[in-house]
Amino acid sequence: MKRIRWTGWLTGGALVCFVGLGAFLGIAHRSGLPAVPLPKADTFPAEMLSHGAALAAIGDCIVCHTADGGVAYAGGRALATPFGTLYSTNITPDPETGIGNWSKEAFKRAMRDGVSRDGRHLYPALPYDHYRQVHDGDIDAIYAFLMTRQAASAPAKTNELIFPLGFRPLLAGWKLLFLHQEVFTPRPDRDAEWNRGAYLAEGLGHCSGCHSPRNIAGAEKTGSDAYSGGVAEGWVAPALNGSSPSTVRWTADNLFTYLRTGVDGHHGAAAGPMGPVVHGLSRAPEADVRAIATYIASLSADRASKAPAAADRAAEASRANPAGATLFAGACAGCHEGGAPMMTEGRPGLSTVTALQLDRPDNAVRAILQGIHAPTGPAGPAMPPFAASLTDKQVADLAAYLRSRFSDRPAWTALETAAATVRKEESQP
């Protein structure tokens, strides 16, 4: 009797699981869309193509969709995530390995719902949660722009994800939980420039993709956590809301300068993944970059009085960290000490550089070891790397000195470990 009951339970349980799985797969299933011939370039009006080019620059498609030294938009760039490594795919109009046989509708579905033309779910590394907010006409213009790029044959590389995330139907569950964004609607209490900036920053620009923290499932936290700072490729993406750590409050003007040139005299230089963002924005329409600056500056408008005072306590810092002071004098002072040639060119003094005000030392340690590569070309801000000349202990001493001299915030800890971690990633000599 008991045995029969157990068997009954088991059968019932299996049935529930089976039906549940079936229902889930039913929801998860997305059908393929038909392949279409590559549209001819002359089917797109010239204004549509230039509009698409500007939008693609703001969305920075090229950054993720181009491998180091690879063909533009042909994909293959490794994207390290907490869930493993994803490889970006080929979005050139190659019919076999790219999106050459995608219709406008298939492209729109990928941008809005994160579904490939063949019906496979795409990983949210493609920020479709943001692209959902983009207007139809703008998505069409980006489609036109991409379909008129040079086609390149580049098959997708195999992703290396932790089990079971390689099973794409699971992404349908992620989308049920986190993909609810709507097309952007302007706020009537704000002016046209602010709304334009909000549209670009929240949509194609996907600024909060890095500058907001993410939850355990890798979705952006929203509400009061939005823009409270995140992490991108090992770099801290500083908070842009009221908790911004910068010593000088961001204004629309200095944000515009920063986004356009890669450096602002009161905050520092764009480094790490922010470099390519600046590269894109340096050639985007000026009015759009101004609008983004206006919107982003408004996020921290309420913190004017909370900004920490700029510090420079050379004598105390030298007493506390004599080894760091010596390294600074020999390696850094030629550019960063008061009166150095660079300081007469409107470059930021270290007491206003945000990297030295962050809770975590990652950005300072990375800048020291890897240097800063001018995002806008040779005239932009650049710093040489010190990985070959300084040991981890020396980087730690130097970072500790910088923190104590140029910030009032608590000393950083585990600096040597931080340096060793960054150095392990170094592939260049």
Q: From residue 46 to residue 75, what is the string marking binding to another protein with x (rule CB under 8 A)?
A: -----------------------x------
Q: Select the span of 6-14, 111-119, 350-358, 388-396 touching another protein (CB under 8 A).
A: 388-396
Q: What is the rounded CA–CA span in Å between residue 288 and residue 265?
A: 22
Q: Are 133 and 183 in contact (CB under 8 A)?
A: yes
Shortest Cβ 261–another protein spacing (Å): 18
List b or e across 145-157, with b for residues whose CB sees 16 or more CB atoms inside 10 angstroms. Answer: bbbbbebbebeeb
Count of residues interacting with another protein (CB under 8 A): 21
Nearer to another protein (CB atom), residue 45 or residue 384: 384
Question: In whole angstroms, how close is the CB of 313 to another protein at the nearest point?
Answer: 19
Q: How far is the CB of 388 from another protein (least distance, A)?
A: 4
Nearer to another protein, 173 or 385 (CB): 385
Taking the C-alpha atoms of residue 291 and residue 361, their distance in angstroms, rounded to an integer, is: 31
Q: Measured between alpha carbons, how far is residue 412 from residues 108, 385, 408 in Å?
A: 46, 21, 12
Residues numbered 113-132 forming contacts with another protein, rule: CB under 8 A = none
Residue 263, SS3 per DSSP: strand
Residue 167 in tokens: 């099973």
* Residue of 23, 388, 411, 414 that binds another protein (CB under 8 A): 388
Quick one: 111 or 387, whose CB is closer to another protein? 387
Rounded least distance, CB 322 to another protein, Å: 10
Q: Which candidate, 203, 202, 228, 232, places its Cα nearest to that of 213?
A: 228
Q: Which is nearer to another protein, 297 or 383 (CB)?
A: 383
**Closer CB to another protein, 255 or 387, in the complex:** 387
Q: How far is CA 203 from the centre of its chain?
A: 13
| b/e 233-251 (16+ beta carbons within 10 angstroms → b) | ebbbbbbbbeebbbbbbbb
Q: Which is nearer to another protein, 191 or 345 (CB)?
A: 345
Nearest CB to another protein, comparing residues 255 and 263:
263
CA-to-CA separations, 227 to 214, 288, 301, in angstroms, rounded: 11, 20, 13
Query: How many other β-carbons are positioned within 10 Å of the β-carbon of residue 394?
Result: 19
Subset of 319-358 contacting another protein (CB under 8 A): 326-327, 329-331, 334-335, 341-342
Please select the residue that binds another protein; options are 389, 411, 413, 414, rule is CB under 8 A: 389
Q: How far apart are the first and last CA of the chain?
A: 73
List the structure tokens of 184.
């952007």
| Residue 161 bridge partners (DSSP) | 84
Specify the stretch interacting with another protein by CB under 8 A; choose among 44-52, 138-146, 245-253, 376-384. Answer: 376-384
| Nearest to another protein of 33, 332 (CB atom) | 332
Q: Which of 128, 250, 256, 386 binds another protein (CB under 8 A)?
A: 386
| Residue 394 binds another protein (CB under 8 A) | yes
Is there binding between residue 318 and another protein (CB under 8 A)? no
Closest CA to 75 of 116, 34, 135: 116
Among 32, 137, 377, 384, binds another protein (CB under 8 A): 384
Q: Give how far the C-alpha of residue 259 lies from the chain's centroid of Cα atoms, to the nearest Å.
A: 14
Binding site for another protein (CB under 8 A): 69, 326-327, 329-331, 334-335, 341-342, 382-384, 386-391, 394, 429
